[in-house]
Amino acid sequence: MSLNTIAINQRMDKFDSHDSVWLFGYGSLIFKADFPFLDRRPASIGGWSRRFWQGSHDHRGTETHPGRVVTLAPEAGAICHGMAYLVTPEEFAHLDHREKNGYLRLATEMHFEDGGSAEGIVYIATHENAAYLGPASERDIARQIASARGPSGPNSEYLLALAQALREMGKPDEHVFEIERHLAALGVRQPDA
Q: What is the CATH number of the domain that holds 97?
A: 3.10.490.10
Task: Give residue 89's pLDDT.
Answer: 86
**Residue closest to 25 by CA, chosen among 67, 60, 71:** 71
Task: Give residue 102's pLDDT.
Answer: 81
Does residue 190 lie within any of the structural domains? no
Q: How far apart are CA 96 and CA 90, in angstroms?
A: 11
∠ Cα 113 102 139 (to 5°): 75
Task: Give residue 87's pLDDT.
Answer: 95
What angle separates helix 155-169 from helix 174-185, to the nearest 10 degrees? Answer: 130
Question: What's the pLDDT tens digit per position in 5-53?
Answer: 555 545 556 556 658 999 999 999 999 999 999 999 999 999 999 999 9
Does residue 1 lie within any of the structural domains? no
Task: Give residue 5's pLDDT.
Answer: 54
Which residues of the chain, if any, have pLDDT below 50?
A: 1-2, 9, 193
What domain range is 36 assigned to?
A: 6-185
- Residues belonging to the active site: 99
Task: Give residue 9's pLDDT.
Answer: 43
Report the DSSP pairing between strands 117-124 and 21-25: parallel
Does residue 172 lie within any of the structural domains? yes
Query: H helices within the chain, ranges in order?
Result: 6-10, 28-31, 92-98, 138-147, 155-169, 174-185
How many domains does the structure of the chain reveal? Answer: 1
Does residue 116 lie within any of the structural domains? yes
Does residue 191 lie within any of the structural domains? no
Does residue 140 lie within any of the structural domains? yes
Would you call 102 exposed, middle or buried from its count of C-beta atoms within 10 A (0-12, 13-18, 19+)? buried
Which residue type, as a one-letter code, is found at position 189?
Answer: R
